[in-house]
Amino acid sequence: MKVANHEGMLIWSDRLRLGALTRSELINIGMSSVLIGFLFVLYHLFGNTVENVNSSSAFTWMVARWSDKQSFGADYSHGFLIPFVSLAVLWHRRAELKAAPKKVCQWGLAIIVMALAFHWLGAKMQQTRISLVSLIMLLWGIPLYFFGWKTAKQLIFPCSYLIFCVPLNFLDALSGPLQMVATSVAYSMLDGMGIECERVGTQLMSPFFRLNVEAPCSGLRSLLAMTALSAVYAYYTQRHFVSKWVLFLASIPIAVAGNIGRIISIALVSITAGQQFGTGLHHDWSGYVLFSLAISLMIAFGKILQVNYVEGFKKWKKAYLDPS
């Protein structure tokens, strides 16, 4: 039964009542509730076994690492945005998810068992990061088991994108090499410009400035942010699997080049406007400018990858051979 007001707008329908749901719909809602509750208990109440930590929640531990300013965790401040990006991708692909044929896939059960084993291993090793990775595996493995490959295929990117949420501490080891690369390349470029400069380790010294490329200035933060951003951009703009990965991997040299450009700009501004301004105000704001430049390079490279060179060559050849 449907009831409408005097303007003909629907204001009530028996379909909205719980009793209007079919048996299969009630079972699906019940099973989904059980699964959500299971994941909540497993990762919020038994997700973190690290000693000297007040919370047993893997989620609380992860969010704390995003906000941690005293360690590498500050490089993961973009983690707050990652879940929302994944949800936005799911919403954008909701039509494909609904239309995908549903079929139970036994391989999904294997992924679920493997993920639970990873969680157990992370708890035993006191490595919450392993437990968080196992959660990502579960978020993909459960739909694979219940709905099959066609549905799980649509979930590969939004689920795998969540890896950018996980503070992977081993990446902090890249900070030292990135410092050395940025310092040596910046020194070579400044020397090529004819600027008197001396390099000692990660320090650049000149009569006009003295710069020390410390760990926070290694470019690791911009590198992680650029890879997360380029993953989404490549996913939506590139048509082929190879071009998606080429653009994603290109974000690494683009981010490194942007950080080198920032160091050079600080040196040049210090020469022209004084070291106090160059290593002060300009240093604090130059990162935003050069990150914007890195994004522009990413977009430009993406456009280059989108060009159909085979078709373009055919058109050029036809126009060259037959000018009329």
What DSSP letter does each residue of 184-208 carry, written as one string? HHHHHHHHHTT---EEETTEEE-SS
Does 60 score more than 90 pLDDT?
A: no
- Domain boundary at 134, 152, 167, which? 167
CB 187 within 8 A of CB 212: no
Q: Indicate whether 121 and 30 sit together in one domain.
A: yes
Q: How many domains does the chain have?
A: 2
**189 domain residue, yes or no:** yes
The token pair that represents 275 in the structure block: 């070291």
Q: Which residue has the higher pLDDT, 246 or 47?
A: 246
Check residue 173 and give its pLDDT.
72
Task: Kindly state the tokens that stand for 170.
Answer: 């081993």
Together in a domain, 151 and 178: no
- Residue 274 in domain: yes
Q: Do the domain assignments include residue 33?
A: yes
Taking the C-alpha atoms of residue 156 and residue 163, their distance in angstroms, rounded to an integer, is: 12
Sign of the Cα torsion 153, 157, 159, 160 reads positive
pLDDT at 16: 54
Same domain, 95 and 206: no
Report residue 44's pLDDT band, with 50, 70 and 90 as the boundaries. Answer: confident
Q: Is residue 183, in this structure, part of any structural domain at all?
A: yes
Domain-embedded: residue 81: yes
- Of 132, 167, 202, the one marking the end of a domain is 167
69: left (phi over 0), alpha (psi -120 to 50) or beta: alpha
Q: Are residues 145 and 274 in the same domain?
A: no
**Shared domain check, 262 and 185:** yes
Same domain, 86 and 31: yes
Task: Kindly state whether residues 30 and 118 are assigned to the same domain.
Answer: yes
Distances (CA, A) of 178 to 8, 112, 163, 184, 313: 66, 37, 22, 10, 40
Quickly state the pLDDT bin for 259 (edges 50, 70, 90).
confident
- Does residue 14 form part of some domain? no
Kindly state whether residue 4 falls inside one of the protein's structural domains. no
User: How far apart, in whole angstroms, are the C-alpha atoms of residue 268 and residue 208?
Assistant: 9
Of 99-103, 170-174, 186-190, 287-291, the least confident: 170-174
> Does residue 39 form part of some domain?
yes
Strands 10-13 and 2-4: antiparallel
> Is residue 89 a contact partner of residue 157, using CB atoms and an 8 Å limit?
yes
Mark which of 113, 140, 167 sits at the end of a domain.
167
Most confident of 12-26, 33-47, 147-161, 250-264: 147-161
Pair (153, 220) in one structural domain: no
Residue 70 or residue 285, greater confidence: 285
Q: Do 109 and 152 fall into the same domain?
A: yes
Assess whether 183 and 287 both reside in one domain: yes
Report the SS3 class of residue 71.
coil
| Same-domain check for residues 196 and 120 | no
How, if at all, do strands 210-212 and 203-205 pair? antiparallel
Instruction: Note down the domain range covering 107.
Output: 23-167
| Same domain assignment for residues 184 and 139 | no
Q: How confident is the model at residue 3 (pLDDT cuts 50, 70, 90)?
A: very low
